[in-house]
Each structure stands twice: as C-alpha cells, then as structure tokens.
Amino acid sequence: MLLLRSALTRALASRTLAPQVCSSFATGPRQYDGIFYEFRSYYLKPSKMNEFLENFKKNAHLRTAHSELVGYWSVEFGGRMNTVFHIWKYDNFAHRTEVRKALAKDKEWQEQFLIPNLALIDKQESEITYLVPWCKLEKPPKEGVYELATFQMKPGGPALWGDAFKRAVHAHVNLGYTKLVGVFHTEYGALNRVHVLWWNESADSRAAGRHKSHEDPRVVAAGKLFD
C-alpha cells in the first residue's frame, strides 16, 4: 500500500477445448476497446525530490500536449520514499508508439525537462494496465489523499478471484468508507497484479474509515469471500 499525495502463428490439429470459465473481472472487453493506462514510477535521489517536482510542475504542459495525464503523485508513506508515480492514458499501443516518437523529437521537452532531470532519477519502472470492466475512472471531488493498494493475486486469472474481489471493493464503496478512483489489472509488468486507487479527504479520514469498515460485518463478510 502506498499513500500518495497531490506498454508466431502455428497450425494446430483439431482438438476439443475445455469449457472456458468467464468472470466479470476479465480484462478482455477492455483490450477490445484498446484504451489502457501506463503506470510509471520514478525513484529519485533523496536530495533531488523537490527539484524534480518543481521541474515537472513548470514543464508539465510540454508532456501533456502529447497524451492525457490521469494523475501525478509523490509517495508520502507506506512505500519507497522519494518516489513519484504517474498514470498516462492511451487509446491503444499504436497511440503510445506515436507519442513516444513525438516526445523523442520534441526538443523543448527534451531540453527543458528530460535531459536536466535524468541525473535525478535512480530507477524507473513501467506497467501496462487495463481498467476492469465493472469500473470506470472516477474524478475525486477535490484535493485529498490517495492510496494505491496493490494485490498480488494467485495464478489462474480473474475466473478464480474476480467476482469476490469485486464484491469486496464495492462493499467499501457502497457503504461510504472511501471513494474509488479506479481498479486496474496488469497486462505487462508483474502479472496477476491488481492496483486499486482510492481517494480520501485526508489521511485521518482514511484511517477512521478503515477502522470503521473493519468493524462492519458487511465489509468483513465481503472480505471473507476473497480469502
């Protein structure tokens, strides 16, 4: 959990296929639509965190001219410190390729942000994710505190755990303990991973809501389905 602040064809003999188990959590429909979200994490040198954030704030318009930025956060606690985390939306993989090519040719972006900031970054990571079919991306009502909860699921896919996970998430949302921004399932990167992005008005309101939810039998019952 992180508390966050403001990418051969072979002929086969005919055979009988086993029945396929389907789940409302499967990302197949999202893949048909094409739209996906890239999670990018930059691990910065401790003494350079503020400098990096100021540089991005000043030059963000140069990057967002090429593709949509869903959000850009810094880690406050609960994970590796001095980390910035951002989510970018793409229509499909061809769109992302076009954006990356355009950025490579954008001298203003290269000279004003990318090149000066490369020396500030220790490590970069990227994951390609899809929103799960039963979730749409929500916009929080105002500034607040974001929590990114990451779940490493058992191999076997959504058919094994998707519906129970959906009920557990909706139990928290429907009872008003927190607000959901989005639920994402990885396609490239660490497999069988699900990211849930929550919004709360403050860290204290998040703590209070979490405490109450753990004492709510409806939430507890939904969570047991996920065991």
Identify the pLDDT of residue 84. Answer: 96
Q: How far, in whole angstroms, is CA 191 from its chain's centroid?
A: 13
Contact 37, 87 (CB under 8 A): yes
- Give the separation between CA 189 and CA 104, rounded to whole angstroms: 23
Per-residue pLDDT of the chain (227 residues; tens, 9 = 90+): 556 554 222 222 222 223 333 344 455 555 566 899 999 999 999 999 999 999 999 999 999 999 999 999 999 988 889 999 999 999 999 999 999 999 999 999 999 999 999 999 999 999 999 998 888 999 998 899 999 999 888 887 666 777 888 888 888 888 888 899 999 999 999 888 999 999 999 999 989 988 888 887 777 776 665 55
Per the listing, tokens 């963000």 go with 60
Q: Taking the alpha carbons of 218, 196, 138, 49 in that order, is the dihedral positive or negative?
A: positive
